[in-house]
Chain A
Amino acid sequence: MSALNYGYAASKVVSSVPSAYVMGAVRLEFCKMRRKHLWLISLGLLGFQGLWLSVGSAKYLQTSSSYMALFSMMPVLNGVVFPLLCALIASTLVDIEHQAHMWKELLCLQDLRSLIGAKWIAQTLIMLVVVSVQTMGIVVGGWATIPGHDLASFGLVAQYWLSTLVPSLMLSALLQALCLVVPNQFVALSTSVSLCFLGLFIPYLLTGWSWCVPSAYFSLMSPVAQNFDTTTSVMHFSLSPFPVGPCIVAFLVSGAVLYATLHHLAHLK
């Protein structure tokens, strides 16, 4: 898209009515993301997760041929991959303005809340698609792999989808805030690598600390409970009740981070 078109789209954002105002700003963010290959990166990382799942699930599926076994592995994989994926998307969305020194110009055309809100909504929409594609991939992959070709129950799939999306949104809010506040993207990216690391270990080693580590919420909100029977040496899987507490905490943290980011940037402005 040419600079003239960007200017036209931006002027549409300013002149539109409030409901269309935000939609226009979000559309503008997606225009900026053209040729950034975000979809390719997201699909690539999902592909790596699929590869890992297909290798790792073989052992589980020998003893328990059910979707529970597949879905039980996912929180750990998400804890490793999603913090970095959220940081990649957030950094790409935000760094484009840092690199081109666009903030002053953008804030002449757009309200700060709509600008930051549009970036957050754009990231949320991308994560929504990524989580939905991943969930569908597991269902379809399980249907092809698990003997009997049974489909996963709607409750399990819906709970998994929600318990993956909510921590993703919290991570997105946190990492996008970091990308916005600290222009040096190294900070956000290295933080995300640390979160990947903590997301892998904290749920197993320091369970009580899982509430304090955003990437550990994938395991904290896992839809599948595991119970290892030492007498028969078989892992039993069951559907967990929906984790209302972590869900509320995640929403509160996301809201607080968004508010703090807006407040901080408004002060700087």
Chain B
Amino acid sequence: MRFLLSTGFLAFLIASSWHAPGQAQPPAEGELSEPGELDASGDESLDEDTGSLETPELRAPELTMPDIGDLPDIELPPEEDEEETPVAIPVNDSADPTANPWRRPEQTFTFEGYMRLRAVLWNGFGLSRDRDEDPGAFRYFRNPDRNVVPAGGCGDNANPTPDQSPTGADSCGGQDHHRFASMRLRLRPTLSLSDEVRVHATFDVFDNMVLGSTPAGLVYEPPTGSGSDQFTRASRVPGVYSEIYNDTQNPQSSLRNSLRDSIVVRRAWAEVSNRGIGQLRIGRMGSHWGLGMVHNAGNDIDGDYSTDVDRIMFATQLFGLSGFVSYDFADQGVQRLLAEDSIRNSLRGIPYDATNSDDMRQISAALAWRTEEGEAQERIRQGGSVFDIGLHITARRQSFFGRLSNSFSSTADFENTQDRSDPDNIVTTYAFARRDMRVYTPDLWMRFRTGGLRLELEAALTVGEIGNFENVFSEAQPYEEDPYRLLQFALAFEGDYRVPELDNKLYIRFAGGFATGDRDIDGLSWNDRNELDQRGDRTFSQFSFHPNYRVDLILWRHIMGRVAGAMYLKPGLGYDIIRSPRGRLFGLSADVIYSRAAFEAQTYGSDPNLGLELNLAAYYRSEDGPGFLDGFYASFQYGVLFPFQGLGYLTDENGVPEVPTGSPAQNPDLTNAQHLRVILGVQY
């Protein structure tokens, strides 16, 4: 397959070279040949005209479709004699256009991105069930000082020998809120060599760094061999004798004072366009489709998760249909660089894939009928309607699972693969296990727009099989041929209507979604970490939305991590008090979200009703910056979740909650959770 792709791309590049830069036609006025520009303009309109999201989406997803633009008819340039190729002369050195025939434009360097600061208050996300025995979904949010007695006590008066009772006067009590702020600066530079050749990158600076988390007094000391075998925190740092002396923040550095570096590169990719053929994209890039239910680029200013893929993609447009096909390097398994001592000792070596057997191979393809956004806006303005539709398919396959057995550990933590030629010889460098996995994910998206109405739908299906999902084998747990099937389905719908009589300021919206559940697993949160624990059958049937496709502020966004195994209904409305044609915006919105599990057996309280959530928001955007969505951005959001029995304790036959015992006694009643957020940002 890769050979075919390579051959195809080679042919493509040869064809591209035929249209040498010096011979390409300049874009017509108003014509956008860069996909990002087309997408941006289209999604901006989407945002402004539909207000489909619970908060104003300032920068619409980057890539709804690898749109190669409004391609002109193929016009072959006249052949020129190589002898007549103009010699190098300074660009724009003549006012006479005939003396300076058009040539490729100057390199340009553009920046997009945002800087954001988010201050949040998570109150009661554990719903008062955060014991060790409680599910990870709730325990994840437990304050570590909740009901504990620190040295000196937590009461009004310091006490050298405090009362150790968790409910005594010296206990820190039942505080169950987290209050903090984090930030991110995103830079998305684009280097354009011409209209046809561009290089893109995405950098994240202080990526969701908790403010105040790298003070001068915080230094991790690596293992020294003299003590414990782990990274430790330095007890005293010169000049910072106590935390009260912290007078500066150090740059983030992974394993020195944080687990993340101060700057990471998230994407880097290039695109090469040929106006008559299509576009080639190569590198690590974002992936987005439809509403973002499955593939979500996470480009919005409030996004946290994204789909980033290592990909070679070819996109084209024929007969009004846009399409692409790509090969994705989803997982290469073990790398030689880490495995070989002789290479590991060097920082110069070139890493390479140790074997193809453990690779996860993925092929993606899509076909869409999408009206060019400028034309769509014009048609809607004239009272017409616009219907867009597309199908995206991903096929994924893996034969083996591979792993280094001793990359960072002195002892192998699982039974090693045997050498076929010598069964007594245990290979200690690599270990492989048969996986036999193949998964297909078709994803259908459609959108209908007329007047102030937008109806948008995405439906996806995951079907496939995993021959074995165990990573660890031993004599006690040998390989078994006991395949698991994948059969999952999900649907997301968004509809909104902007009232033209009120200058599109009032919008009414309704969103709903459904993701199949799995009655053979316990819990709905990814923090439960038991999605593979099948009690009964061998079918994984729980569908998980992309975590960046968000429908609320508390339940799915945080406690469960993403929508999975449930349905939700979300009516809402909003009003833009200020809505300037230059981009200034100030408005209010309110949404109500009702959530219900697909299978009551999967819930924590064996009840399908999960909760009712109310979300309120006030948002503001200034009109600074050259782009319509650029400027200062501020948002205030409040949410409250009223949990239902599905999130509560199991009950016995008499209906009495089975509350874990211990001190202090646990309240069988769930408490409400609240969320307060302030977002300050600048988008550019």
Answer yes or no: do A and B interact.
no
Using a CB–CB distance below 8 Å, which chain A residues touch chain B?
none
